[in-house]
Amino acid sequence: MSQENKAMINNNENKVLVDIDNRGVATVTLNNPDKHNAFDDQIIKELTLAFEQISANQDVRVMVLASKGKSFCAGADLGWMKRMAAYSYEENLVDANALATMLHTLNFLPVTTIAKVQGAAFGGAVGLVSCCDITIASNKASFCLSEVKLGLTPATISPYVVNAIGLKAARRYFQTAERFFADKANQIGLVDEVCGVDELDGEVEAMVNVLLSNGPVAVKAAKKLAQDVAYSDIDETLMADTSDRIASIRVSAEGQEGLTSFFEKRPAAWINK
């Protein structure tokens, strides 16, 4: 990571902050609380840069996506939306592609991603949450796919949201723009854990510690495995592929250490790192 890029994403005047601790836990924080962390082109650009740099950093093992203030993210910034309304089709396409690239980068980060949702997550913010592997929300969190209220659709985020909540729930909430809360989000699969707002930091930290106790190479491979085999036909090709994956990781240095430490009844080497 260049010093120039570090400065770009760690400057307190920027709308996205990045911190990486000595455990390899990266925290990406939306830093625009006065506007409820609403999206604009600058935030999209800074998030994309942050995710790209984390993806390239071999020392990062977990990423937490968080935000400052009462709201997680209020969706699109009103000023940005006003500008987009005056854009041509071609300009809108460029703008939409930037958002699509950011979401794709987040969704396919090689490390485990945790969304830490303390408050409202509207519009595109539901896309951010859907792109993360694990979502922990406070009981004050609320969600809304609000686009149709403005005569729009949640097009760019739709693949990730449908993947997270399923087709049936997506058909409802894409069309109704209803606001729903953490308990319902948990019920439909958007949120994994719900806790009190004062417990949110502790719950996220507990999940981080669970992840850090596992083999770092294996965790990355397990994430890719889930994405690669999802919705695939269970045929000879898939059987051969999954057999190759388990055979390869068994004979890898980490696989050998994991099995040896288990049989020797001692902590694996990565736990002490």
Is the pTM higher than 0.85? The answer reads yes
Instruction: Let me know whether 155 and 257 are in one domain.
Output: no
Read off the DSSP letter of residue 187: H
Count the domains in the chain.
2
Which residue, 183, 212, 241, sits at the end of a domain? 212
CA distances from 167 to 81, 105, 188 (A): 28, 23, 11
Q: What is the reported pLDDT for 7?
A: 39
DSSP 131-153: HSSEEEEETT-EEE--GGGGT--
Instruction: Let me know whether 252 and 165 are in one domain.
Output: no
**Nearest C-alpha neighbor of 113 from the set 121, 103, 99, 100:** 103
One-letter amino acid identity for 33? P
The pLDDT tens digits of the residues spanning 1-46 come to 344 344 344 555 789 999 999 999 999 999 999 999 998 999 999 9
Instruction: Let me know whether 141 and 236 are in one domain.
Output: no
Instruction: Let me know whether 155 and 24 are in one domain.
Output: yes
Instruction: Let me know whether 9 and 107 are in one domain.
Output: yes
Q: At 245, list the tokens.
A: 């994956």
Instruction: Let me know whether 231 and 170 are in one domain.
Output: no
Instruction: Let me know whether 67 and 141 are in one domain.
Output: yes
State the Cα–Cα distance between residues 254 and 273, nearest whole angstrom.
13
Instruction: Let me know whether 205 and 263 are in one domain.
Output: no
Q: Identify the CATH number of the domain in which residue 24 sits.
A: 3.90.226.10
Q: Identify the CATH number of the domain in which residue 240 sits.
A: 1.10.12
- The 3-state DSSP class for residue 14 equals coil
| Domain extent for 119 | 3-212
Parts of the chain with a pLDDT under 70: 1-12, 272-273
**Nearest C-alpha neighbor of 29 from the set 69, 68, 61:** 68
Which residue, 197, 212, 227, sits at the end of a domain? 212
Q: Residue 89, exposed/middle/buried by CB under 10 A (0-12, 13-18, 19+)?
A: exposed
Instruction: Let me know whether 29 and 111 are in one domain.
Output: yes
CA distances from 269 to 23, 62, 110, 255, 258 (A): 14, 18, 21, 11, 8
Q: What is the reported pLDDT for 26?
A: 98
Q: What phi, psi does 23 have (nearest 5°)? A: -90, -10
Which residue, 212, 235, 264, sits at the end of a domain? 212
